[in-house]
Amino acid sequence: MFIKIRSVGLEEKNNTFEVSRTLKVLDLKQIICQRLKIEPDVQRLFFCGKQLENNYTLFDYNINQTSVIQLVVREPPVNQSGIEKKSLPNSTEEEPCCSSATSSTSDERTEDKSEESCYFKIGDYVDVKDSDCGFWLIGKLLKIKKDTKTVNLQDPNSPVQNDGLIYVVGFYQVSETTEVNLQAIRPHASEKIDFGRVTPGNKLLMNYNIEYPKERGYWYDVIVKEVKTSRRCNEVIGDIIVGIGKAVLKNCHLTFVDEIYTLKPYTLLVNRTSEDDKMMQMEPVMRAAPLYCIACKDNLKKCCKECGCRICGGKDNEDRQIMCDECDHPYHMLCLDPPMEAIPEDDNWYCPTCKTDENIIVGAGQELKNVKIKKSNSNRDWGKGYACVGRAKICNIVPIHHFGPIPGIEVGTSWLFRLQASESGVHRPSVGGIHGRDKVGAFSIVFSGGYEDDVDYGEEFLYTGSGGRQLKTENKRTANQSFDQELTRSNRALAINCNAELDDVNGAEAKNWKEGKPVRVLRSSRSKHSKFAPELGYRYDGIYKVVKYYPARGLSGFNVWRFVLRRDDIVPAPWTKKGKERIIKHNLKIIYPENYEEKISSSKGKRALTENFESNEPKSGPSKIEGNTGRMNKKIRITYELEPELKDLIASDTVNKKYWVECKDVLVNGKKVFLEKVEETFKCACCQDIVFNPITTKCKHNICKNCLQRSFALKVFQCPWCRTDLDKNCSMNVNKKLASTLLFLFPGYNTDR
């Protein structure tokens, strides 16, 4: 298989490596060293967030085909013995201690001294603005310090200018203090105003809870816009000023109108009266504060697992409670399982819900856990084969249980490996010969001649069912027939495709075989007795139908189920003259895996892979499509011409004209490239599939209707592609012209969507 090594400064040409899945990480580092000249000791390899350790294989880390491994080059270790310690000058080694003691004493005296302000003095009660949320709290002025930096921090909307002072404020029943500038404090609002006197345009101090508007909250500045009075309740509708940048929450409904305060203006100390001094120095009545716990309404007698112990809900014995450092919930030490006798010495403690099991964590440089390592006693290097590689991509154009052709896969398309056919969606199982469900039917089969009873006539063939072999005991992929086959599982699925009543004893024959369910057929080059099989790889030969099925005695002496399949496809078969001309016309060369290096086999009589495929093309005489001018130009041969119906559909979709022009530019590269371009162009930004029931927005982007509805349900009214604002009440009309065009190009892609 092939993997990529990615590192800073590494060219794309040198980053592909052919390796085995059983290769050890240490050996991979040696291979990287040979090509990139980077020593293994300084290499650090990472994949999916894990550091690859030397003693493990690529299979242990689930590294597959085309996986990208990150290479980080660590700095080489420095020889500490060669570094001489430089001695510092004598003048810097010894410093007098008397000067520091003198300076510290002077600093303490400076800190004890308080500055004088023009508006406030020590002991005044003030309203302090929270720097994060913008609400106001009552505090007491404890000290005034000098700080000239605050002069440069001015708010143009404030009624006063910062005076170069810092105000130290303490709060009720709280030991901590806060330091603010002049614009963040003001005389505390103590004068209430009746609800009947509130008029639009007033700026007042009111209570509001941003998260729970029906509960008590903090105190904010409110600009009144409307006053509503009714028998049920009175409320004020206004704009609330919140946050550091004074953001405005518009049209908030404030229902707590029993306490409304007017704002006091700033007053100079020289203009204060004795009454003003008395009011500013008098301890005010505390305003209503938000509930700490909404669940129990701060009822100390009520058990609550939100604010009390998370196990018993009790609020007693606070000295025997421990807080989780992750979720901040309290737990009684005796309620834990097992009970905790003493507070742990570690600084961090996590509750049973938040604690992560240390046994499942694999740190950098640590060994993998034994449960994650798949043990094997075999020393055979089985990891080089392409069949051992997992799928690098999955076909999402049609669902997994799709009957009929796969859009974009032409009859005659060939792949070097079977896994590639699985990635394209033609035959999804990587090992099984029949892909189907015993209650639905069979979707595809691989005709590889693995059973001696298989007979191939081209347009019709006899196919032997699966089973009857002992494979599990030694993990085999093929073996001789050892017991009778039964009409179950995949055999039953293939029998359902026949247009007849199911008979699991004698079999059945279709009344009208063309009305049966279609089966995609792949022919393998491993078919030993078929002249219709490809010389190399796996080839898609079109749609077949089951004509009949019946039990019979096989060549091995055991009973087998035989199925007669007949071709029912309008496209000519690849082995016919017209089929070969069509393969040349559509440039259906064999498809190699990504990064696969073509190698000429050293075996006698074998040629390069490309030569093997070219042997399928006619070698003598010009074909009909070449005419008298000889072999056609490659560009003309592979150009895909749109069907007249498709041209009309594309022309009718005028909204997406620009996108269709871009898609038609690649028609010269064939139908497959054209369909890939259409799939990429009309991919939904949300589900990453081809748009279904497409809605074309005003910004000319296409999104699935269901995806856009889910986005609107989450109150995201923006285009998923460009973030253009969309009207939340816009009519979601499906672009039926685009939907019809995509359904014509990709028939069946709308199934189960």
Separation between Cα atoms, residue 255 and residue 287, nearest integer Å? 16
CATH number for the region 391-473+489-585 comes to 2.30.280.10
Cα 372 to chain centroid distance, Å, stands at 24
Q: What is the pLDDT of residue 500?
A: 94
- pLDDT the model gives residue 376: 62
CATH topology of domain 644-745: Herpes Virus-1 (3.30.40)
User: Who contacts 592 (Cβ-Cβ below 8 Å, separation ≥6)?
Assistant: 416, 598, 609
Residues 6 or more apart whose Cβ sits within 8 Å of residue 522: 418, 421, 426, 427, 444, 445, 446, 447, 538, 539, 540, 541
Q: Where are the beta strands (DSSP E) in 121-217?
A: 125-129, 136-146, 165-171, 174-180, 185-187, 203-208
CATH 3.10.20.90 placement within the chain: 2-74
Q: What percent of the chain has pLDDT over 70?
A: 83
Instruction: Note the pLDDT of residue 232.
Output: 83
Query: What's the predicted TM-score (pTM) here?
Result: 0.57
- CATH number for the domain running over 191-263: 2.30.30.30
Span 2-74: which CATH code?
A: 3.10.20.90
d(CA 419, CA 389): 8
The architecture of the domain spanning 307-367 is 2-Layer Sandwich (3.30)
Q: Which part of the chain is CATH 3.30.40.10? A: 307-367, 644-745
For 295-306, b where at least 16 C-beta lie within 10 A, e where not — what string? ebeeeeeeebee
Structure confidence at residue 374 (pLDDT): 57
Is the Cβ–Cβ distance between 304 and 289 less than 8 Å? no
In whole angstroms, give the CA distance from residue 486 to residue 560.
8
Distance (Å, whole) CA 395 – CA 401:
12
Q: Which residues of the chain have pLDDT under 50?
A: 80-106, 108, 598-637
The string of DSSP letters for 289-339 reads ---S-TTTTT-TTS--TTTS-TTT-----GGGEEE-TTT--EEETTTSSSP
- Which DSSP symbol is given to 656? G
Q: Cα angle vertex 312, ends 310, 313, to 5°?
A: 65
Q: Are 558 and 484 in contact (CB under 8 A)?
A: yes
Other Cβ atoms less than 10 A from the Cβ of 65: the count is 21
pLDDT, position 289: 84
Residue extent(s) of CATH 2.30.280.10 domains in the chain: 391-473+489-585
Q: Which parts of 144-297 fold into alpha helices (H)?
A: 274-281
| Distance separating alpha carbons of residues 700 and 310, to the nearest angstrom | 53
